[in-house]
Amino acid sequence: MGLIFLIPLFCFLFSPSHADIAAKPGVNYGQLGNNLPPPHKSVELIKSLKAGRVKIYDANPRILQALKNTDIQVSVMVPNEIITAIAANQTLADDWISSNVLPFYPQTKIRYVLVGNEILSQPDNVTWHNLVPAMRRIRKSLILNKLKKIKVGTPLAMDCLEASFPPSSGMLKKSVTDSVLKPLLQFVNRTKSFFFIDVYTYFAWVSDPVNIKLGYALLQPNVTSYTDPVSGLTYTNLLDQMLDALYFALKRAGYPDTRLFIAETGWPNGGDVDQIGASVYNAAIYNRNVVKKFTDKSLKGTPLKPDVVLPSFIFALYNENQKTGPGTERHFGLLYPNGTNIYEIDLSGKTSESEFTKALPAPTNNEPYKGRIWCVSERGANGTALGGALSYACGQGNGTCDPIRPGGKCFKPDSVTWHASYAFSSYWAQFRKSGGTCYFNGLAVQTTKNPSFGSCKFPSVTL
């Protein structure tokens, strides 16, 4: 049906498991915000979402303390930065477990120690080759401390795949298959752990919204279907298609029975003007459908693996205002930082769609924005920080800030806020195509309102 010819590899993620693993989804508790509730309040909010498990991106002692004596299963994470050191030194692994697991276990139900996060997506290939050795040392330390029930894993992104479409062609990335991925799979299978993977249908859809139907990416029923010409399997949603691409890749590598665990999935509830489909409506529909899929016995599994349970984490607990990159990065939360729901959701799957009482706001950006966009200073931004960002923007391009120099057409009004707005727009217009963003550590925001006046003309991006 011409539905999906290529889906960028960075978009894919996947995870299955056996029937002894609880299906109730959990939530990723990110902490990259300067306005988030304290851990004890966050734990209460996690309970209110009826999350079965929580994953944190470190081993924050205040969070682990707040999770004591709850029924919430917990995953903690060894930082990327110390993987190479731990791989070479068992004492460091022992010290990490002694400091970050033993003081809290078993009152805090730590079930997984995840070594690093999306290591293969980072440029540091030294860490790649130290990943599995570090995992072995962490597991050895757990065994020495009689903590055999705690499993060791590592979350990867879908860029661990070399091929993904059609799903039956799924293949692991050749450059790291023998050196990293097969040792990882051997470790996971030998220790009865999981292959943790992050999967986002949003990014796959954004890459090709013409050929990929939005409803197919949102897991909406009866939108369309795609039949794999080799396997003959029929797909009715993009998540299943992405997951089976990974299943086929693992089978092709010789590990067909590997258990998968979705370490992250979700949909942004907001974003920048130039980012389509990021809305409260779409986020609510996607995450509600995911919860239904993962908890409804009749919907579990994928066409290739229909009988597996898919343990999972929804990304994320909060909108996090200190995450860098495009606006969507700061808008994946189920909750606002003040603790209120962005939309109604029940991670236990026991609340049906018809039982949610608050109407969702209609999406307004399902189609690409057409027009001009400017990048200006965020209202209320710190003047000192703006000055630093202004200097950075002006120092990057050739003539980027000439109009705001004394005597220039945009020099007046002579204020840091005004000059920064011009510099941000000028920088973004010049460097957007090569990866420049309208962010500047949270000091800038996109706008469709032209800030130009008189002879001062602000550069813009035209979509």
Catalytic residues: 118, 264
Identity of the residue numbered 269: N
Count the Cβ atoms, other than its own, within 10 Å of residue 198: 26
Map 1-49 to HEC letters: CCCCCCCCHHHCCCCCECCCCCCCCEEEECCCCCCCCCHHHHHHHHHHC
Question: Is 400 in contact with 427 (CB distance < 8 Å)?
Answer: yes
In a 3-state reduction of DSSP, which class is residue 130?
Answer: helix
User: What whole-number distance in Å separates Cα of residue 11 and Cα of residue 386?
Assistant: 34
- Residue 73: is it exposed, middle or buried by C-beta count within 10 angstroms (0-12/13-18/19+)? buried
* b/e code 212-240 from CB counts within 10 Å (16+ = b): bbbbbbbbbeeeeebebeeeebebbbbbb
Residues 6 or more apart from 405 whose CB is under 8 A from it? 411
Tokens standing for residue 320: 């996090």
| Angstrom distance (rounded) from CA 392 to CA 286 | 38
Please name which of 28, 18, 8, 445 lies closest in space to residue 265, comparing C-alpha atoms.
28
| Rounded Cα distance, 407 and 403, in Å | 8
